């Protein structure tokens, strides 16, 4: 999707309703495909492969948007 909001307009104008509808559709489709992929891996008894080159792990070296297992375990151990 190649959309661009007019930054000098208020939220009631930008982004246009059509862009919002397109984003909703594409987001729903991504969720459906992710569910199919997950179900397919489960049916084949395959676990997700973490840390493959070019994957999400390599795209966020500052760890701003990806929840890493060790981070989750550290949080869980402090709240237990």
SS (H, E, C) the chain: CCCCCCCCCCCCCCCCHHHHHHHHHHHHHHHHHHHHHHHHHHHCCCCCCCCCCCCHHHHCCCCCCCCCHHHHHHHHHHHC
Residue 67 lies in a domain: no
pLDDT digit string, tens, across residues 7-17? 677 767 777 88
| Residue 32 counted as domain residue | yes
Residue 24's pLDDT is: 95
Query: Is the predicted pLDDT of residue 32 greater than 70, yes or no?
Result: yes
pLDDT higher for 20 or 47? Answer: 20
Cis status of the peptide bond prior to 16, with omega within 30 of 0: no
For residue 76, being part of any structural domain is answered with: no
Give this prediction's pTM. 0.48
How many structural domains are present in the chain? 1
What is the Cα–Cα distance from 67 to 80, expressed in whole angstroms?
Answer: 19
Would residue 40 count as lying in a domain? yes
**Residue 73 resides in a domain:** no
Whether residue 20 is contained in a domain is answered as: yes
Cβ atoms of residues 19 and 38 within 8 Å: no
User: Domain containing 39: what range?
Assistant: 14-49
Token reading at 11:
């939220």
**38 located within any domain:** yes
Residue 35: inside a domain: yes
């Amino acid at each position: 999707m190649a959309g661009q909001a007019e930054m000098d307009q208020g939220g009631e104008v930008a982004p246009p309703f059509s862009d919002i509808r397109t984003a909703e559709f594409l987001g729903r489709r991504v969720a459906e495909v992710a569910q199919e992929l997950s179900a397919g891996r489960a049916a084949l008894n395959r676990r997700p492969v973490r840390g493959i080159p070019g994957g999400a792990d390599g795209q966020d070296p500052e760890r701003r948007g990806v929840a890493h297992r060790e981070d989750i375990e550290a949080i869980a151990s402090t709240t237990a």
